[in-house]
Amino acid sequence: MIGLISATAAGAAARDRLAAAWPRRTRVYEGPVGDAVRAAFAECEQLVCFLATGAVVRLVAPLLGGKATDPGVVCVDEGGRFAVSLVGGHAGGANELARRVGGVLGAEPVVTTATDAVGVPGLDTLGLPVEGDVAGVTRALLDGEPVTLDAEVPWPLPALPFAARGGHTVRLTDRAVRPQGGEVLLRPPSLVVGVGASRGVSADEVCALVEGALRDAGLSARSVAALATVDAKRDEPGIVEAAARFGVPVLTHPAEELAKVAVPNPSGAPLTAVGTPSVAEAAALARGGELLVPKRKSARADGHAAMATCAVVRRPARGRLAVVGLGPGARDLLTPRATAELRRAAVLVGLDQYVDQIRDLLRPGTRVLESGLGAEEERARTAVVEARRGQAVALIGSGDAGVYAMASPALAEASDDIDVIGVPGVTAALAAGAILGAPLGHDHVSISLSDLHTPWEVIERRVRAAAEADLVVTFYNPRSRGRDWQLPKALAILAGHREPGTPVGVVRNASRPEESSRVTTLAGLDPATVDMMTVVTVGNTATRIVAGRMVTPRGYRWQGEAR
């Protein structure tokens, strides 16, 4: 919950705007400001104070306990010009909150955390449990001192300026070791604990069993990603409560799937009870991995039979591939999600001219693999290979990466051994449509006229079908030096079904500094004025030009009235 506190009418107005934008995430604190801040500090995860920073400093100073427990505090000035991350920038989430508050109120986020200022991700913001000399190692990174990465377990991390050798170390490990001087331990969620249990097992018995198994194997409980079991035990209270104590989910699998998993210690008891010869080992190994702790039973002090079994598996590291659409070119049409993925990536793969568009957004240390036109499939393979190595990879394309761009070849190469995240972007058709007016107001279709990957016979059949169906058509890749006849042919097909005066919009370099656009007609369009940087949108029989803009009505009643 986010507590909102204000002292004046101007502050209350901005406060109420934020409360209206986030109705289920915020709570307004009324009354004397001091009392309100103290109450919100005790009850909320974050605070937004519409007060002067000096006033907030004096109010929260006596309340501060430690960066790991203090809520994030953001100050917004009475004019709503700035959203200042004051306390808990990383651990309390105040840096991100300042950005989000700024997005709602139109305020400039002010973030002074050293790592954010220079573009280096904070070691305590990577989403992994962290131990050791965080401040010292972070300072070394900021000062340019060599810091090495010791990745005992490969895991996708964002770009960090690591060196081959250095006096400081970031150690990525799931082993139960203590950090040394000048060392930070990052705990990846690499362990899956399979659990089998009799009905009525207690959470204490399950937890004691799991903790003992991890301790004896020298493994850290902070790297446990999940407790896994058979579907029949999905709601077993002892397992559910044990998972809650570890702060992890319960993963369940059908008995018939677990029965197919090869395990070293099958047993007849679970086969009779739930239909699989193994629960603990099979559930832990269901998604692959290395068996670190074979099945073991719980030990009960009361002498009764064990009611739980467990096994521990180190799951395979899964790389992360984000397929990112950059939009049509303008920076303000690049989505916040796309920007976040670019900054999360350790490896960027893309066409050289697209890399140049966003190079300034990359974090220091990002490895850039760029190539020229015509190497789409090679880039897709490269991105997938890097992800399979356990890297965090961003593969970029213009517009939306799923529309005539990199998502298709990348996903054709990828299998289920990596995580794939699609990040949508503003397509060329949408950017051009916004410039032209509202040409896509009814059913429409996009067709690429490039026969590099698609035979012309197929393209022509699709154009003819769109013409007969009276769809608005947006042509991508309409004309190049080596392909100068396809666009006239496509226009001729459409002309067989539409009037010569049908509106046609032509947009070149949509949203870029050299943008140009014009509205003409099907009969008046000169294909020689079109190139590969152009998008051509041909209206349907209902499309009209209104005040110089293309408009396709949402229904056909307008067409009847116009006649």
Per-residue pLDDT of the chain (563 residues; tens, 9 = 90+): 999 998 888 888 888 888 998 988 898 998 888 898 889 989 998 999 998 888 889 998 998 888 778 899 999 988 888 999 988 877 788 888 898 888 888 888 888 775 565 566 778 777 889 899 888 888 888 788 888 989 888 888 888 878 888 889 999 999 999 998 899 999 999 999 999 999 999 999 999 999 999 999 999 999 999 999 999 999 999 999 999 999 999 999 999 999 999 999 898 888 878 889 999 999 999 988 999 999 999 887 666 778 899 999 999 888 999 999 999 999 999 998 999 899 999 999 999 999 999 999 998 889 999 998 878 899 999 999 999 988 999 999 999 999 988 999 999 988 888 899 999 999 999 999 999 999 999 999 999 999 888 999 999 999 999 999 999 999 999 998 888 899 999 999 999 999 999 999 999 999 998 999 999 999 999 999 999 999 999 999 999 999 999 999 987 565 555 54
pLDDT at 487: 95
Cα–Cα–Cα angle for 496, 500, 506, rounded to 5 degrees: 105
CA-nearest of 427, 430, 416, 361 to 394 is 361
The encoded tokens of residue 275 equal 């239909």
Annotate 140-177 with three-state secondary structure. Answer: HHHCCCCEEEEECCCCCCCCCCCCCCCCEEEEECCECC
The encoded tokens of residue 40 equal 């919100």
Could you give the CA distance from residue 313 to residue 253 in angstroms, rounded to a whole number? 16
Give, as one character, the DSSP assignment of residue 124: G
Q: Identify whether the C-beta of residue 219 lies closer than 8 Å to the C-beta of residue 312.
A: yes
DSSP string, 14-34: HHHHHHHHSTTTEEEE-S-HH
Per the rule left: phi > 0, alpha: psi between -120 and 50, beta: everything else, 303 is left
State if pTM tops 0.85: no
Cα–Cα distances in angstroms (integers) from residue 332 to residues 31, 83, 181, 235, 325, in the given order: 40, 20, 44, 48, 13
pLDDT at 2: 93
pLDDT at 118: 58
pLDDT at 534: 95
pLDDT at 378: 92
pLDDT at 96: 85
Could you give the CA distance from residue 498 to residue 541 in angstroms, rounded to a whole number? 6
pLDDT at 558: 52
